[in-house]
Structure 1
Amino acid sequence: MEKVKIFMIDDHKLFVEGVYALLEDEPGIELLGYSLSAEDFLKQAANIDADVYLVDINMPDISGIELTRRIIEMKPGAKILAVTMHNDLQYIQKMISSGATGYILKAANIKELLKAIQTVARGEKFLSSDIQQVIFGKLGGGEPEMEEKKKDILSKREKEILVLIAKDFSNHEIAEKLFISELTVETHRKNIFSKTKARSVVGLVKYAIQNSIISYE
């Protein structure tokens, strides 16, 4: 089995060293190294080719949110797993909007961290169970409550597009994958937001999980 190459960017050295100690003997993981600041990582980024980047959010120079944007710009298709102490909805939304493929808390055990790394490496999104609870429990204040099991309000094509939106596909990428025009994708996108009453991509993700259109488990 091909190993998943990971690189960490986190200013907490003890945490980084602890994670490395836990992962170094995992047969499916290859540790490429780590940076203790975003600036240090950016200086050597061109020489780093990881499958998954583990990114902290709060760092003294550049935030993990901004760093995620920069990594995606430099390395389109890069997979970012946010590993943080923050379980606030605003951080979750910002990291997902910036391009993070997964989000997990530092308090997670090694088994869940491995699951997150492997899931993200496959190009699938991962939200740990406690983060899903945050989304479901707190998003109601910013998103209208959605009735359970309303998946039939979306057409088959809209569900296909919703799944791709949840996977961070751009309108252009969706159009190419489904062999339709970008204008058609944008029309479907607007209809999906209208039908689900979601106000953000995170709202769409909540709807899709609740209605079994996608799963982050």
Structure 2
Amino acid sequence: MTDINIVIADDHEIFLDGLSLMLSRHPGFKVCGRASNGQTLIDIVNRELPDVVVTDIRMPVVDGIQSTKQILAVHPDVKVIALSMFDEENLIIEMLEAGAKGYLLKNAHKDEIVDAIISVYQNKNYYCSQTSCLLASMIVRSKASPLTQPQVILNEREKLIIQMICHQQTTQQIADKIYLSKRTVEGYRVKILEKIQAKNIAGVVIFALKNNIIKEEDVL
């Protein structure tokens, strides 16, 4: 696999340094630019033409939402991941509606950051594993909700397990309730994630809401 070229942007220098160092150490990643404000980010992207941009939403000069719009208007193939704080649901929605392919909370584990970058590089949406049910429902209602969904045929047991996952039941709890072994339920979970092209529970909740497997009031 060729290197994934990445540009990162954040106005907090310590965070920017740490993220840059972490990504630079990952095989297959190349950090080709860093920015501390949205205008610099736009300029670097125009020069470097990266594969992926990882950017904070709140930045000086030009914020992440406007810089994302400007970048994608000129370079529609660039994949953008938004970085956010816990209490920024509306801003996350605005970033997704601006064209970001995914978002992460700033305290995301390094493995999740890597996973998100690879996912959006492969043109898949990525929703942070810490996505709240409220935010999941907001994504489904928003213009950012994917227009196309994978064509999936689910049997009744798979739908039941999806419902139980959305209710945050553990694998053991699901196994106890439907009289299967924990290992069998783990197999179902893996198969379901593959079928619906979800990376984590957040993706399952969004898929389930969009496909009427659960209702919004069931998870809020």
State the TM bucket, normalised to the shorter chain. 0.5 to 0.7
The answer to whether residue 82 in structure 2 is matched with residue 82 in structure 1 is yes
CA distance in 1 between counterparts of 2:21 and 2:211 reads: 34
Compared CA separation, residues 107 and 134, structure 1 to 2 (3 A): farther
CA distance in 2 between counterparts of 1:15 and 1:102 reads: 19
What is the RMSD computed on CA atoms of the aligned residues?
A: 2.9
State the partner residue of 2:187. none
Equivalent of 1:163 in 141, 149, 152: 149
State the partner residue of 1:107. 107
Compared CA separation, residues 21 and 134, structure 1 to 2 (3 A): farther
Q: Deviations over 1:99-122 (max 9, x none)?
A: 000010010010010001110110
CA distance in 2 between counterparts of 1:210 and 1:26 reads: 39
* 1:93 Cα deviation from its structure 2 partner: 1.3
The question of whether the paired residues in 2 share the 8 Å contact of 1:23 and 1:29 is answered with yes
Compared CA separation, residues 117 and 128, structure 1 to 2 (3 A): same
* 1:209 Cα deviation from its structure 2 partner: 6.8
What secondary structure sits across from 1:31 in the alignment?
Answer: strand
Give the partner amino acid of 1:72. Answer: L
CA distance in 1 between counterparts of 2:211 and 2:131 reads: 13
User: How many residues are aligned here?
Assistant: 156
Give TM-score scaled by structure 1 length: 0.63
Structure 1, unmatched stretches of 5+, are 144-159, 165-203, 213-217
CA distance in 2 between counterparts of 1:42 and 1:96 reads: 18
* 1:139 Cα deviation from its structure 2 partner: 3.8
The question of whether the paired residues in 1 share the 8 Å contact of 2:101 and 2:120 is answered with yes
Q: Following TM superposition, where does structure 1 have runs of at least 4 consecutive aligned residues deviating by more than 6 angstroms?
A: none
State the partner residue of 1:23. 23
Structure 2, unmatched stretches of 5+, are 151-205, 215-220
The question of whether the paired residues in 1 share the 8 Å contact of 2:84 and 2:92 is answered with no
What secondary structure sits across from 1:7 in the alignment?
Answer: strand
CA distance in 2 between counterparts of 1:87 and 1:210 reads: 27
Equivalent of 1:207 in 202, 206, 209: 209
Give TM-score scaled by structure 2 length: 0.63
Q: Equivalent pairs: percent with the same residue?
A: 25
